[in-house]
Structure 1
Amino acid sequence: MTPEEKLASLGLTLPSAPVPVANYVPFRWAGDLLYLSGQGPKRADGTYKQGRLGRDMTVEEGYAEARLTALNLLAVAKQAVGELSRIEAVVKLLGMVNAEPDFADQPKVINGCSDLLVEVLGDAGRHARSAVGMGSLPNRMAVEVEAILLVRR
C-alpha cells in the first residue's frame, strides 16, 4: 500500500501545501536530504487553534494539533517529491510545543506527529526526534515541527 493509499484508508487527505508568509522556502534540498521548514497545525481555512499546553489545551488536544501538523509536513514533502513512496526515511524531527513553563509532556504532544508519520510511512517514518517547550510560537499555535527526510532521487 502506498503512503497516499494509507492516508486514504485512514480517512485522511493531504491539505494544500502551506505557502510561506515570510522570507523562506517551504523545503530545501541538500543532496538526498530534504529539509522541511517548520509547519504548524494550519487548518484548511488558514486558521490555527490558538493556545498553550498546560493552560489552554490538554495533552490530547495538543496531540491532535501535532497530528494535523504531520499532515501539513507530508503535504510539503509531496510537493517536493511528487510521490510519498520516494521517502526512504524520516531522519529527524524537531517538535516545538507552545507551553507553560511547568509543562513537562512535550514528548506526549509531539507523539501525534510521530505516530501519524509511522502510520503512513511505516518503518520509513521512524525517526530521531527532539520535543521541546517554547515560550511562544507564531500565530499562538500549539505546535510547530520541522523535519529532515532522506529521499530516493
Structure 2
Amino acid sequence: MTTANKTASAPSGYVTPLVVHEGFAYVSGQLPRKDGQIAYHGKVGADVDLDSAREAARLCAQACLNVLNRELTEGRRLQRILKITGFVASGPDFTAHGRVIDAASEVFIENLGQAGQHARSAIGVAQLPHGACVEIEVVAAVTGP
C-alpha cells in the first residue's frame, strides 16, 4: 500500500512531503528554513562560507526528521535511514560538497544512533529552489502496516 501525505507548504506550493510504499519512506527535499523562511541563500564558496553551509545542512536534516516524525501514521515507525542525497548550490571553485553534507549525516547519527547510519550522495548544483544553498532528501526504512 502506498501512502502519500499532501500538505500545502508555503512558499513552495502543493507538495507531498512524504510517500510511504512497501516499507520505504521517501522524504521530499527539505530546505534550510528557520521560522518558515530560507535561512541561508546563495552559493557555497562564493556567497556562503563552509560553516554556514554546514549549519544549513543541519537544518535540512532536522527538517527531514521532523517530516518523518510528523507524517508517519497508521502504526508505522521509522526503522532506519537508508540513504540521504544532499544538493549543494556551489560556486565554480567549491569542491567540499561532502564536508557540507557531513553535517547532515551527523544530525541523523546524533538523533538515531546506529539507525542513523546511511549511504549518501553529495552533489554540487548551480541553483536550488528559493535560492537556498543546501537541500537534503531521505530514503528510510519503516515498519508497520
The TM tier, using the shorter chain, reads 0.7 to 0.9
For the pair 1:92 / 2:83, whether they are aligned, the reply is yes
Give the Cα–Cα distance (whole angstroms) in 2 for the partners of residues 69 and 47 of structure 1. Answer: 10
Q: Structure 1, residues 46-104: CA drift from partner, whole Å, max 9, x if none?
A: 2332111010111111111100111111111111226xx93211001110001012210
Structure 1 segment 111-122 matched on structure 2, within 5 A: 111-122=102-113
- Preserved contact between residue 88 and residue 151 of structure 1 (Cα < 8 Å): yes
- Quick one: distance in 2 between partners of 1:70 and 1:98? 16
CA distance in 2 between counterparts of 1:57 and 1:18 reads 29
Residue in 1 aligned with 2:134?
Answer: 143
| Match among 48, 52, 63 for residue 72 of structure 1 | 63
Counterpart of 1:24? Answer: 15
**What do you get for the CA RMSD once the two structures are aligned?**
1.9
Query: Who is 1:49 aligned against?
Result: 40
Q: Verify the 8 A CA contact 2:44 2:91 in the aligned structure 1.
A: yes
- Do structure 1's residue 61 and structure 2's residue 32 form an aligned pair? no
Structure with the higher helix share, 1 or 2: 1
Q: Is the CA contact 1:93–1:130 (under 8 Å) kept in the aligned structure 2?
A: yes
Aligned-residue offset at 1:23: 4.5
Any idea what the Cα deviations from partners look like across 1:22-59, whole Å, max 9, x if unmatched?
A: 34311101111000000010111423321110101111
- Matches for 1:121-140 after TM superposition, within 5 Å: 121-140=112-131
Question: Structure 1 residues 73-82 or 54-63, which shifts more?
Answer: 73-82
- What is the total number of aligned residue pairs between the two structures? 135
Structure having the higher strand fraction is 2
Unaligned runs of 5+ in 1: 1-16
Distance in 2 (CA, whole Å) between partners of 1:59 and 1:152 is 36
Unpaired stretches in structure 2, ≥5 consecutive residues: 1-6
Q: TM-score, normalised by structure 1?
A: 0.82
Q: Which residue of 1 aligns with 2:3?
A: none
Letter in 1 for 2:28: S
Q: Identity, % of aligned pairs?
A: 31
Which secondary structure does the structure 2 equivalent of 1:91 belong to? strand
